Amino acid sequence: MMTWKQHFTSSVGKKLVMSFTGLFLISFLVIHVYLNAQIFLPDGKEKFLAGAHFMGTNAVTRILEVGLVIGFLLHIIQGLMLWSQNSKKRSAGRYAVKAGNATSKWYSRSMGLLGTIVLLFLIMHTSHFWIPNRANQFITGEEIDLYEKMRITFQNPVVVVLYILGCISLAFHLVHGFYSAFQTLGMGTARYKAIIRNTGIVFSIVVPILFALMPLAFYLHWIE
């Protein structure tokens, strides 16, 4: 019998944690991109601010926010552990031949690197919006005008480029992550697998493009 500790620390246990937390983070991205994409609609500013106000002030989403932080931490810690475990196995020289592209794509072998770039993006991103907003709420009880904050933040071309690079890394991280999350959970028939594969690819392209268009739209004054 496996102990609880072994469930989490075994290779399969780690992959299960990655898969559950990954799917949870994907569901966050769906809500995040949906709410933020309101900026592209007529009256986008009002629509976006109403959504941000709702998400930032009601009890349910504030509790979910704690879950989100825990989800990110588990995903990052387990990811780093899987990555170091796999690189140890590789450097032990047990495989005489490097399979290269024959058995996996470069982005599947670079999940640690892509994840690290997404993490660096997240540190920058939360210090742009989330941290100042929560700090302001805590100190003055008032929310920041996040629309105005985005408009100003995205006047800086370096920031815009870093956001776009973050979105590209996220896209490749998701292409592998989306499919392998379902693979870890067991996917059933071949037809089902193809549907998940294709849904994953479309998701991983559409969502990061929508995100990347946001800083770009402010920078190029497509929206004011």
Q: Does 52 bind ligand HEM (CB under 6 A)?
A: yes
Among 118, 171, 175, 181, binds ligand HEM (CB under 6 A): 118
Interatomic CA distance for residues 107 and 220, integer angstroms: 31
Interatomic CA distance for residues 22 and 138, integer angstroms: 30
Q: Does 112 bind ligand HEM (CB under 6 A)?
A: no
- Of 137, 139, 177, 159, nearest in space to 19 by CA: 177
| Residues 6+ away with beta carbon under 8 Å from 163 | 121, 125, 154, 211, 212, 214, 215
Of the pair 119, 187, the CB lying nearest ligand HEM is at 119
Among 109, 125, 151, 193, binds ligand HEM (CB under 6 A): 125
Q: Does 81 bind ligand HEM (CB under 6 A)?
A: no
Report, in Å, the least distance between residue 14 CB and ligand HEM: 21
Interatomic CA distance for residues 222 and 74, integer angstroms: 38
Query: Coil, strand or helix: which one is 105?
Result: coil
| Residues 6+ away with beta carbon under 8 Å from 181 | 18, 19, 22, 23, 26
- Give the binding range for ligand HEM (CB under 6 A) out of 8-16, 105-113, 128-136, 189-197: 128-136
Of the pair 17, 114, the CB lying nearest ligand HEM is at 114
| Residue list 153-212, contact with ligand HEM (CB under 6 A) | 163, 167, 170, 211
Of the pair 187, 216, the CB lying nearest ligand HEM is at 216
Among 13, 44, 51, 56, binds ligand HEM (CB under 6 A): 56
Sequence-ordered alpha helix ranges (H) in the chain: 4-9, 11-36, 44-57, 59-91, 106-109, 111-128, 130-140, 146-153, 157-185, 190-219
> Where along the sequence are the contacts to ligand HEM (CB under 6 A)?
32, 36, 52, 55-56, 65, 68, 118, 122, 125-126, 129-130, 133, 146, 150, 163, 167, 170, 211, 214-215
